Structure 1
Amino acid sequence: MNVAVVTVGDELLAGRTTDTNATWLCERLADRGVGVERVTTVPDRIGDIARVVNEYRAEYDAVIVTGGLGPTHDDLTMEGVAAALGRSVEEHDAALAWLEENGYARADLASGTTELPAGARALHNEAGVAPGAVLEGVYVLPGVPEEMKAMFETIADEFSGTPTYRETVVADEPESALLDRIADVRERFDITVGSYPGESVRLELTGTNEETVEEAAAWLRERVESPDGES
């Protein structure tokens, strides 16, 4: 399963808010064996949201959109997603009923709180108010991290793929000096290797067979200089 993540918000693009949602989602999806192919941030504009969602839903199995939910003037995500799918936005009876059952009087809810794309399945917000939605492989979640995380957990089982396993090998050598051994371990084992230089070089070995990844890591550790001086 391949997924794209779209985060919405002018504050993200201006650097006023750190986009922790995308990182968290990527980690959770990777844990479930799901490949994240794109992470894109768009402004609070209906046209930009609609264009990116429409493009990605044609390319990937699912699109997760976070941010811009609610009744305020800049909460335009539902309208953008609706535009991408050729739907109108209308009050969602099930979303309204759930809020009323959980102590929110209709008169207390701001206009637009429960408006979702026509035909969408409502995702109830256990940690807040504004509901999310699912329609045609597009999942719309809140931008508030606590709300987003709680809502994602209710749909996590809808995202699955081939589990991947990871081992880390730390080498106290220049990255350029490791190229031959990186090539060798790739040739010997069915894995991929990511190289991340810093004070030491961190080599991340990943694959779909746990035993193979462990064997590859053991093979490589024997052939690099470790930070503690052992090879």
Structure 2
Amino acid sequence: MSGNTGEAVTAAVLVIGDEILSGRTKDRNIGYIAEYLTGLGIELREARIVPDVLGEIAAAVNALRERYDYLFTTGGIGPTHDDITADGMGLAFGLPVSHHPDAVEILKSHLGDRLNEARLRMARMPEGAELVRNPVSNAPGFRIGNVFVMAGIPSVMQGMLDEIAPTLKTGQPYLVDAIEGDGVKEGDIGGPLGEIQRAFPGVMIGSYPRSRDGSFTTTIVLRSRSAEDLAAAKARVTQLLGELRPTGSRS
């Protein structure tokens, strides 16, 4: 079922690759996926990074796919020997891995006589997997159960995510508001802000310090699915800031 369910929909991201853990490659996918899913009303609850080790891939996949509505993975579906994500998925689901005939045809059509044994690895998937179209470089990803397996290259992953999005069930997106503290520091607001948070459990309240004109100030960000709760919490925070600004309190 796709479309807005009106209920909370949760997700996790699993980044696969030794190159991320070694620092040779900087991850650019987690933040993009988080923002993308937030826009759909899907809550990204967890992100993990695992090495190119079959057992660790399978263990992480099984833990995350059981805990959340969706799991999105990036990396490890290319043509090289260390691209073993398909095998990790097979191990996780207890399924054999073989060349998906439709994926093979896509690669043949796109690569022609350049399709060799290494490139054919990109067509390997667990039995029963559904293809995820790749509008950027053609080599498909795949879906099995509630797990979406995508490329690690950011532009390719983003194209795959666009293909996946219409198939997802979504929740009600959060409403977001931000209030500038205008010189109020986190140490000034920490205690009373916690009291406001307890009074409004349906509103997520975060404080974020930043430097402006050589001094520190705080931005308060409020997120809620309820416009009424958000407005009420914002009014309390605004009142609190108004009480603190004249005092010149310091942490």
TM-score, normalised relative to structure 1:
0.89
CA distance in structure 1 between the aligned counterparts of 2:169 and 2:103, rounded to whole angstroms = 23
Q: Is the 8 A contact 1:98 1:124 kept in 2?
A: no
Question: Counterpart in 2 of 1:179?
Answer: 190
Asked if residue 213 in structure 1 is aligned to residue 224 in structure 2, the reply is no
Asked if residue 223 in structure 1 is aligned to residue 240 in structure 2, the reply is yes
Q: Is the 8 A contact 1:130 1:142 kept in 2?
A: no
1:219 deviation in Å? Answer: 4.4
CA distance in structure 2 between the aligned counterparts of 1:176 and 1:148, rounded to whole angstroms = 41
Asked if residue 140 in structure 1 is aligned to residue 180 in structure 2, the reply is no
- Percent identity between the two aligned chains: 31
Among 157, 172, 177, the residue aligned to 1:167: 177
2:224 aligned partner, one-letter code: G
Q: Secondary structure at the match of 1:143?
A: coil
* Distance of aligned partners of 1:150 and 1:86 in 2 relative to their CA distance in 1, 3 Å threshold: same
Q: Is the 8 A contact 1:6 1:63 kept in 2?
A: yes
Question: Counterpart in 2 of 1:80?
Answer: 88
Question: Counterpart in 2 of 1:156?
Answer: 165
2:125 aligned partner, one-letter code: L
CA distance in structure 2 between the aligned counterparts of 1:142 and 1:186, rounded to whole angstroms = 39
2:41 aligned partner, one-letter code: G
Asked if residue 115 in structure 1 is aligned to residue 114 in structure 2, the reply is no
Question: Counterpart in 2 of 1:104?
Answer: 111
Q: Indicate the structure with greater helix content.
A: 2
Question: Counterpart in 2 of 1:92?
Answer: 100
1:177 aligned partner, one-letter code: D
- Displaced runs of 4 or more, over 6 A: none
Question: Counterpart in 2 of 1:55?
Answer: 63
Q: Is the 8 A contact 1:191 1:206 kept in 2?
A: yes
Q: Is the 8 A contact 1:181 1:220 kept in 2?
A: no
Residue-by-residue CA offset, 1:86-105 (whole Å, 9 max, x unaligned): 1111111122223344x332
CA distance in structure 2 between the aligned counterparts of 1:94 and 1:42, rounded to whole angstroms = 29
Q: Is the 8 A contact 1:29 1:159 kept in 2?
A: no
CA distance in structure 1 between the aligned counterparts of 2:86 and 2:15, rounded to whole angstroms = 13
Residue-by-residue CA offset, 1:58-78 (whole Å, 9 max, x unaligned): 211121110011120111111
Q: Secondary structure at the match of 1:35?
A: strand
Instruction: Name stretches of at least 5 consecutive residues in structure 2 with no aligned partner.
Output: 1-8, 212-216, 247-251
1:224 aligned partner, one-letter code: L
Question: Counterpart in 2 of 1:196?
Answer: 208
1:4 deviation in Å? Answer: 1.3
Q: Is the 8 A contact 1:95 1:124 kept in 2?
A: no
Stretch deviating more after TM superposition (210-219 or 168-177): 210-219
Q: Is the 8 A contact 2:142 2:148 kept in 1?
A: yes
Asked if residue 131 in structure 1 is aligned to residue 148 in structure 2, the reply is no
RMSD of equivalent CA atoms: 2.3
CA distance in structure 2 between the aligned counterparts of 1:11 and 1:112, rounded to whole angstroms = 19
TM-score, normalised relative to structure 2:
0.82
CA distance in structure 2 between the aligned counterparts of 1:25 and 1:15, rounded to whole angstroms = 20
Instruction: Name stretches of at least 5 consecutive residues in structure 1 with no aligned partner.
Output: none
Q: Secondary structure at the match of 1:198?
A: strand
Residue-by-residue CA offset, 1:77-135 (whole Å, 9 max, x unaligned): 1111111001111111122223344x332652423121111110011211124321101
Q: Secondary structure at the match of 1:197?
A: strand
Q: Secondary structure at the match of 1:52?
A: helix
